[in-house]
Structures are given as C-alpha cells and as structure tokens.
C-alpha cells in the first residue's frame, strides 16, 4: 500500500520546499491547516487564505481544522511561558496526528521541519511521541536544506510572507528586539544550538543534554568552564563557590562586572547562565567545599566534576571524594602567574610538570596515600615573577600551599583558556568521540 501523508502546513512559504521534496519522492500527500498559534486574527486569516490559494494553484488537497485559537493557545502556553514553543509544537502535531489517524492517512509530517528558526530536534522528538500516541507513522524529513530556495520560490509566486513566527509573543520579540518582555518571561531562542549541532549531530547534542556536571570554583577558570557548558546545551549543572565578587575579579571572571560587585559568585553566575539557557537545570551553592559538607552536592550522581578550586587542602579533599565516588574528574592546576595560553596542556596528574600547584597536589595526594589518577589541566609555562610589584608579590611556593593572603597576578586569556579546555574535556567525553579509548594522554 502506498503512503498517504497528511502534511501539517505552518504557512504557504514554508510549505513550498516540503511539497517539492515529497513530490520528488513520489509520496502522496494532502496539506493540513491547523495553527491556533497565529495572532492577531487578520494575520491568521492572511496566512490561512494564502495556503488555500497555494493549494489550489498546486492542485493539492487541503484539509483544515480552522480555529483561531487566541484564548485557548494563550491558556495552554502561558503557564509554562519559557517552554512556549514546545507546547505550541505539541498542540499542532497532536492535532495533526489525531486528524490523520481519524481520516485514514498512513503518516503525518509538518512543514515546521523546513525552518532553521524552529527547534528541529524538539519537533522530531514530539513528532515521535505523537506517532506512538496515535499509532500512526511520523514521516520525518530534514527539509531545511531546501529552506532558502523555498523562500525565494515563495516570493516569486507572490505568496504572503509573514514578518514573525506567529504568536503575539513572537510579534513582540520581532519589534522590541532588545527589550525584555514586561512579565519577565524568557523563551529559549529557537535553535540556539544549531551551529553546535552541525558539529556534533543531533545524537551528540542529546548526549550532552543528558549530563550533569558539578563545577567547584566559580573564579577565573570555573566560571568560563560553566559558561561553555551551558552554551553547549549541558542538561544540569551545579556551581559551588563561597566567595563574593570583588572589583579585582572583573579582569578574569565572567560573572564579575561593575554591576555584580558584592554579589555571591555562584548565584551571580547562575543568573547569567539562566539568561543563556533558561531550560538548563542550574543549582548554585554559595558554599565552601570541604570534607564535612561534601554530602551536600550530590557528587555520586554527577557525570563529571570540574575542579577549579585553588585552595590546596580543599582541592585534595575534593579529588579524594570524587575519585572515591568513581565520578570522572577534570582538575585545574595553577593558572596564575602565566601569560601564554598556548602552553596549557592536559595529562594524568602524575605526569604533570613545571606547575608548582600540580607539584603540591602530587605531594599532598601521596602523603594521603591516594593511588588513583585523574586528568589535570595545567600550564607548562614557568611562573612569571620578575615583573611583580613588591606589594603584591606572592610568597615563595614552599610557604604557599593554601589560602594565600597575597594575590597572584592573572590574566583572562589564560584562565578562560583553561576553563574552556576543561569544558571541552567534558563535552568530548560526553559525546564519546573515542579519544579516551585511543589513549591520547595529551587530550585526556
Ligand atoms: S514563537 Fe512560533 S513556535 Fe514559538 S510559540 Fe510562538 S508561534 Fe509557536
């Protein structure tokens, strides 16, 4: 029996490329109009009538569930306004799947799969859920490569081209670009991971989104590691730091600005990261890590721990706790007194060299009888001491194992590079690029 598909159409211009694609595959299909997400009514009518005209010109069957759903749509999406697009997809795909099953179609699909502005992976996943629920095939196609051509063809056909996605919220965002909505709602921007997905594929992104990472230390190294992880779609992240932001942090810590001085570092970083991805589950502990409160952070259930602590005893406690729990640890050594980010490397802790903090860590662990191993990120650059002003020169390293009162000089190009390298270790391990298996010690 040949396939008979019900193609949900969000609008005529987006349907052009889908129609071309399905015809090229010799698939039978009818168009379907159900878009209660389009407001106001004049806009709804313009898009609906344009699709009807397009269907007639192309001699295609058009089914409709004609409902201008301002009130029902708002009450469905508003309680979870940060996830409004997911609710919107669900509403439209559920209606399409149930309608297709009821009318005897053998599959359903949607023109939303053509738009690079929509969350393609979410659409694919929701399509799959509706397929299982209504026992009808979801015809998944990545129509996006044809999007630009489709839009040009739509212009040539003189189809009505809309200026915004559909709902009143998207209209507001279109015209008030850099202003926050007055109710504080904050939708996740469409496709904010699109460029990353081109590198990792959908499966890679999915794997990253399932990971939970704890970052101990939200300073010059840890803050950038956390930033990179959230910008890469990590699912859950915990940030632990008991310090508050001071002016001298502004040169190298991402949460430190002239507006945040005085705020607790972990909470300030959480606030920033939520603006990047409101769907990331972020926990901030404005607390110190030490042996006594190690139980607070759920270390055993983490997939990865990033150690960006610079106090030696707490660092040693963390290393022991994480390794005992069998959780993968990536640990930063000293990044102060360095200028050259290209000398930052990775190695098992026992093979580190040059870095004075790494030496103290190796000695401290030996003293404690620790026999495990983990990956360290360290710099092969000799500490720069010559240019330090007498007032801020650090004490000699043998007297400075922990909690130094004197400040060390540091620069963001080095600390951030170490943070990015730590995040990169997590991300590459999460997507399983096989580097660990190849025994590449320069990388792990
Ligand atoms: S922006 Fe578009 S996809 Fe998101 S809720 Fe509004 S109409 Fe639906």
Distances (CA, A) of 338 to 226, 305, 414: 22, 24, 7
Does the pLDDT value for residue 438 go beyond 80? no
Report yes or no: 33 and 51 within 8 Å, Cβ to Cβ: yes
pLDDT digits (tens, 9 = 90+) for 342-372: 999 999 999 999 999 999 999 999 999 999 9
Ligand 1, atom 1: closest residue by C-alpha: 170
pLDDT digits (tens, 9 = 90+) for 47-99: 999 999 999 999 999 999 998 989 999 999 887 777 889 999 999 999 999 99
Give the pLDDT confidence score for residue 144 in this predicted structure.
87
Q: Is the CB of 260 under 6 A from ligand 1?
A: no
Q: Is the CB of 93 under 6 A from ligand 1?
A: no
Ligand 1, atom 6: closest residue by C-alpha: 167
Compute the distance between CA of residue 70 and CA of residue 92 in angstroms, rounded to an integer.
14
pLDDT digits (tens, 9 = 90+) for 138-169: 999 999 888 888 989 999 999 999 889 999 98
Q: Is the CB of 32 under 6 A from ligand 1?
A: no
Compute the distance between CA of residue 133 and CA of residue 90 in angstroms, rounded to an integer.
12
- Other residues' Cβ atoms within 10 Å of the Cβ of residue 164: 16
Residue among 3, 10, 21, 16 nearest 58 (CA): 16
Q: Is the CB of 166 under 6 A from ligand 1?
A: yes
Domains and CATH numbers, the chain: 4-175 (3.40.50.620), 195-431 (3.40.50.720)
Ligand 1, atom 5: closest residue by C-alpha: 85
Residue among 325, 439, 315, 302 nearest 372 (CA): 325
* Dist. CA 169 → ligand 1 center (Å): 8
Ligand 1, atom 3: closest residue by C-alpha: 85
Ligand 1, atom 4: closest residue by C-alpha: 85
Q: Is the CB of 237 under 6 A from ligand 1?
A: no
Q: Is the CB of 170 under 6 A from ligand 1?
A: yes
Ligand 1, atom 2: closest residue by C-alpha: 165
Does the pLDDT value for residue 224 go beyond 90? yes
Instruction: Give the pLDDT band (50/70/90) at residue 198.
Output: confident
Q: Is the CB of 84 under 6 A from ligand 1?
A: yes
Give the pLDDT confidence score for residue 437 in this predicted structure.
41
Which of 74, 83, 84, 188 maximizes ligand 1 atoms within 8 Å of its Cβ, making it the mutation to test the pocket? 84
Q: Is the CB of 127 under 6 A from ligand 1?
A: no
pLDDT digits (tens, 9 = 90+) for 232-270: 999 999 999 999 999 999 999 999 998 899 999 999 999
Index of the ligand 1 atom closest to the CA of residue 84: 5
Give the pLDDT confidence score for residue 189 in this predicted structure.
62
Which of 170, 176, 188 maximizes ligand 1 atoms within 8 Å of its Cβ, making it the mutation to test the pocket? 170
Q: Provide, rounded to the nearest whole percent, the portion of the chain with pLDDT above 90.
A: 72
Note the residue count of the chain.
444
Q: Is the CB of 29 under 6 A from ligand 1?
A: no
pLDDT digits (tens, 9 = 90+) for 317-334: 999 999 999 999 999 999
């Amino acid at each position: 029996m040949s396939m008979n598909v019900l193609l949900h159409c969000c609008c005529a211009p987006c349907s052009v490329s889908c129609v071309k694609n399905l015809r090229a595959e010799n698939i039978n299909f009818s168009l379907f109009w159900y878009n209660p997400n389009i407001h106001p009514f004049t806009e709804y009518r313009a898009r609906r009538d344009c699709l009807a005209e397009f269907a007639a010109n192309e001699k295609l069957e058009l089914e409709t569930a004609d409902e201008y759903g301002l009130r029902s749509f708002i009450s469905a999406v508003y309680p979870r306004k940060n996830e409004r697009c997911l609710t919107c997809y669900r509403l439209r795909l559920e209606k399409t799947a149930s309608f297709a099953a009821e009318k005897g179609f053998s599959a359903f699909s949607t023109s939303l799969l053509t738009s690079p502005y929509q969350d393609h992976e979410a659409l694919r996943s929701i399509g799959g859920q509706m397929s299982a629920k209504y026992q009808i095939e979801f015809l998944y196609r990545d129509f996006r490569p044809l999007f630009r051509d489709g839009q040009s063809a739509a212009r040539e056909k003189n189809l009505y081209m809309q200026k915004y996605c559909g709902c009143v919220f998207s209209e507001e965002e279109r015209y008030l670009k850099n202003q926050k909505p007055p109710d504080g709602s904050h939708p996740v921007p469409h496709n904010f991971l699109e460029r990353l997905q081109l590198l990792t594929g959908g499966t890679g992104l999915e794997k990253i989104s399932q990971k939970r990472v704890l970052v101990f230390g939200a300073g010059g190294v840890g803050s950038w590691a956390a930033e990179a992880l959230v910008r890469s779609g990590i699912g859950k992240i915990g940030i632990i730091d008991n310090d508050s932001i001071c002016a001298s942090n502004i040169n190298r810590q991402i949460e430190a600005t002239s507006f945040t001085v005085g705020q607790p570092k972990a909470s300030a970083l959480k606030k920033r990261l939520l603006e990047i991805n409101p769907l990331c589950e972020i926990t901030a502990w404005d607390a110190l890590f030490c042996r006594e409160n190690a139980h607070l952070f759920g270390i055993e259930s983490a997939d990865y721990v990033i150690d960006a602590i610079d106090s030696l005893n707490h660092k040693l406690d963390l290393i022991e706790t994480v390794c005992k729990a069998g959780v993968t640890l990536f640990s930063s050594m000293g990044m102060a007194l360095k200028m050259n980010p290209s000398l930052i490397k990775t190695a098992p802790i026992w093979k580190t060299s040059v870095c004075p903090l790494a030496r103290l860590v190796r000695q401290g662990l030996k003293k404690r009888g620790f026999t495990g191993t983990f990956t360290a990120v360290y710099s092969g650059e000799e500490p720069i001491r010559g240019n330090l002003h007498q007032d801020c020169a650090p004490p000699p390293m043998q007297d400075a194992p922990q909690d130094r009162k004197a400040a060390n000089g540091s620069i963001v190009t080095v600390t951030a590079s170490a943070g990015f390298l730590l995040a990169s270790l997590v991300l590459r391990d999460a997507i399983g690029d096989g580097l660990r298996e190849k025994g590449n010690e320069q990388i792990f």
